[in-house]
Amino acid sequence: MQSAFTLGIEEEYLLVDRDTLDLAVAPQSLMEACKAELESQVSPEFLQCQIEVGTRVCADIGEARDDLRRLRSEVSRHAAQHNLAPIAVSCHPFADWKTQHHTPRERYDDLRQALGGVARRMLICGMHVHVGVEDKMLRVDLMPQLSYFLPHLLALSTSSPFWQGEDTGLASYRLTVFDNLPRTGLPPTFDSWAAYERATGALIDLGLIEDTSKIWWDLRPSHQFPTLETRIMDVQPRLEHTLALAALIQALIRMFCRLRDRNLHWRIYQRFLIGENRWRAQRYGITEGLIDFGEKAIKPFPDLLDELVALLEADIEALGVADEIATLRDIVATGTSATRQRAVRAAAQAAGGDPDKAVVQHLIDEFQADL
């Protein structure tokens, strides 16, 4: 079994005006200041109101915590100098996508041209977790196994219940928007790295995409790094929740590698069935449970998490992520960001305040609390 399971975490933030709490364009001077401080670890995103950060390659969750806290702190500090604040949430509660503009950059100009009107609605943010897997064939072998747990990760991460001032009834509306793009959703199953390269190479050879960075599955081999990149999750307002999800992915991949060394394999289920759980996670988050296909029953999420933690006991210990996994239990007990946002909105309405702005202020406060 490979001995190291390195981590990398990418997060996308929205920038809001501290007075109006509406979205704000990132000034060029803000991006320049962040670049001077953080170099390649910070970049603009598709929309001018977004900013993206990415950790270095981290040996363990402790390194990831230190680096991500530094990134969040520096972005927040530089934004404050422009009366702006970052929020780590997958949809702004009341902003109108029709008033947003994409960042004038060749990559984003090309995306806007290729995707047409679909691209304009991309007022969403996500988080991506990379785990180092050096062997290419192993990456392909792990994808259908980890795919089974993608709905679990989505359910735990849900942070986008609102869209343009309305409660969508979904825990993750972000995924509804993102799924309008081509080459998204659950990944296909490949029986070899060569099969993966043939499939993706067909689009590259036709000139439809320049490389595999334009394939936006929920889980994919990274185009840039020797990693598996998990992309299904909503971004987290709380730093510790980001780290808990990253630790869970790291532990899952270690478990699959451990099983492989014993000539064992997690059962592969049809994408159609996993897709049903994906929808349940998108719609309900952790509140209504997911399907256990082995037992042919819908199980409450606390039971699912208990069973999963038991399966991962050896991996949690080996990776030293017991505290982070305990944070997942707190999420299940108290709710995801979607739950908290709805509670804040309801309280503001009851008190006669502005419910939309109350939610944004809540998101600013949660981001700041972990710095």
Instruction: For 115-140, write each residue's pLDDT tens digit.
Output: 777 777 889 999 999 999 999 999 99
Instruction: For 316-368, write each residue's pLDDT tens digit.
Output: 999 999 999 999 999 999 999 999 999 999 999 999 999 999 999 999 999 99
Model-wide pTM > 0.75: yes
Bridge-based pairing of strands 216-217 and 184-185 is parallel
Which has the closest alpha carbon to 124: 179, 205, 53?
A: 179
Task: Map residue 223 onto helix, strand or coil.
Answer: coil
pLDDT of residue 103: 66
Paired tokens of 119: 């691209």
pLDDT of residue 104: 64
How far apart CA 338 and CA 172 sit, in angstroms, is 8
Which has the closest alpha carbon to 274: 146, 137, 142, 131?
A: 146
How far apart CA 223 and CA 149 sit, in angstroms, is 22
The DSSP symbol for 60 reads S
Residue 57, Ramachandran bin (φ over 0: left; ψ between -120 and 50: alpha; else beta): beta
Which has the closest alpha carbon to 46: 93, 115, 129?
A: 115
Phi, psi of 206 (to 5 degrees): -80, -5
How far apart CA 22 and CA 40 sit, in angstroms, is 28
Q: Answer yes or no: are the C-beta atoms of 168 and 246 closer than 8 Å.
A: no
Q: Is the pLDDT of residue 99 over 80?
A: no
How far apart CA 284 and CA 282 sit, in angstroms, is 6
